[in-house]
Amino acid sequence: MGWQRWHEALAARVSGERLAHCERTALLCREAAAAHPAWGVDPERAALAGLLHDWGRGEGTAEAMLAAAARYGVPVSPAARRRPVALLHAPVGAASLRAAGLVDEEVLTAVALHTVGAAGMGALSLLVYTADFCEPGRTHPGACEVRAVLAADLRAAARLATRYTLEHLLAGGEMVEAGAVALWNDLVRLGEVDG
Ligand SMILES: [Fe+2]
């Protein structure tokens, strides 16, 4: 199934501003990947992963998200039980996309990891995670700054996005998923290697 069919399928699941966010994320992923061949990310693959990253939002309510997680065998952490839509739409979306016929494992991984993150994320996953944070429609703290950094350095942009996300969660007294801390530690260590 190509871009057009997936776009139609996505538009049947999410609409309005959510669909526009997915389209802007796809465009940013495609442009950034095309501008930086050294990242080793195919621009069309990046665009598809960016487009489909919020596929799981189509489940709708917290109850439906928890039901979908149970259906697909997606583990529900204590943090995800508190905020099911925010934290489960990524892994549920990947499972749902697999069931819908998406076979590209790297794209599925990028979708699954785009909210929380994990240690050892590949460039495609880092790009989707970062583009979701900083696509031009985003207005939250750090979005512009991360977008500017992404124009030059994927890991540095991902690290900055992770810092803003962790700061936001801690300031709000929220739980922090282990994967987010693992990603942060990974990016700090890799930043030291990069210099
Ligand atoms: Fe998302």
At 54-76, the pLDDT tens digits run 999 999 999 999 999 999 999 99
Please tell me whether the overall predicted TM-score, pTM, comes out greater than 0.95 for this model.
Answer: yes
- Indicate if the pLDDT at residue 101 is higher than 90: yes
User: What is the mean predicted confidence (pLDDT) over 31-59?
Assistant: 98
Q: Which two tokens stand for residue 140?
A: 């939250």
Which domain range does residue 149 map to? 3-194
Q: Select from 183, 64, 10 the least CA-distant residue to 113.
A: 183
Q: What number of helices (H) and strands (E) belong to the chain?
A: 11, 0
Residue 114 CA to ligand 1 center (angstroms) comes to 6
Count the residues in the chain.
195
Residue 49 CA to ligand 1 center (angstroms) comes to 11
Burial readout 94-104 (b: 16 or more C-beta within 10 A, e: otherwise):
bbbbbeeebeb
At 115-164, the pLDDT tens digits run 999 999 999 999 999 999 999 999 999 999 999 999 999 999 999 999 99
What is the domain-level CATH number for residue 180?
1.10.3210.10
Gap between the Cα atoms of 116 and 74, Å rounded: 14
Residue 115 CA to ligand 1 center (angstroms) comes to 6
Q: What is the separation, in whole angstroms, between the first and last Cα of the chain?
A: 41
- Indicate if the pLDDT at residue 78 is higher than 90: yes
Residue 195 CA to ligand 1 center (angstroms) comes to 31
Number of domains in the chain: 1
What percentage of the chain has pLDDT greater than the value 70?
Answer: 99
